[in-house]
Amino acid sequence: MEKRAKILLVDDDPDFVEATKVVLESQPYRVITALSGGEGLKKAREEKPDLVLLDIIMPGVDGFQVCQQLKKDPHLAQIPVIMITSFSEKYVETSLGVSQGLTLEAEDFIDKPVAPTELLIRIEKWLKK
């Protein structure tokens, strides 16, 4: 039996989480969800996912903080992180965005609304590395 990649999806929008989970589970992925940054960190430590999809703007612990904590943890640092946000394209073009992305070592940024096909292509790209 083929191993299903485990993806942790962290976003504070329950509708986005549910819709994205349906898309991902139509593929050979097992999806774990978290509706906050703090919950996402906890689940990452417990589940050791193969990839993390991470919203940037969340109340409390935001996506930048989650990514920073993941990359500091020697048990989690190798997990690819794809940041998902409504403003990623504009953000990563700024010097702040570039420096944050490099500092946080997020592997990729993708804009909302997320096209399912593009999301699946990006996930496959990072799972193969």
Residue 112 has pLDDT above 60, yes or no: yes
pLDDT of the residue at 103: 54
Helical H segments across the chain, by residue range: 14-25, 37-47, 63-72, 88-92, 95-104, 116-128
**For 51-108, how does the pLDDT look when each residue is reduced to its tens digit (9 = 90+)?**
999 998 888 998 989 999 999 999 999 999 999 877 544 444 544 454 554 455 788 8
More confident residue, 100 or 14: 14
| Reported pTM | 0.86
For residue 95, the 8-state DSSP code is: H
Least confident of 23-37, 71-85, 89-103, 111-125: 89-103
Domains of the chain: 5-128 (3.40.50.2300)
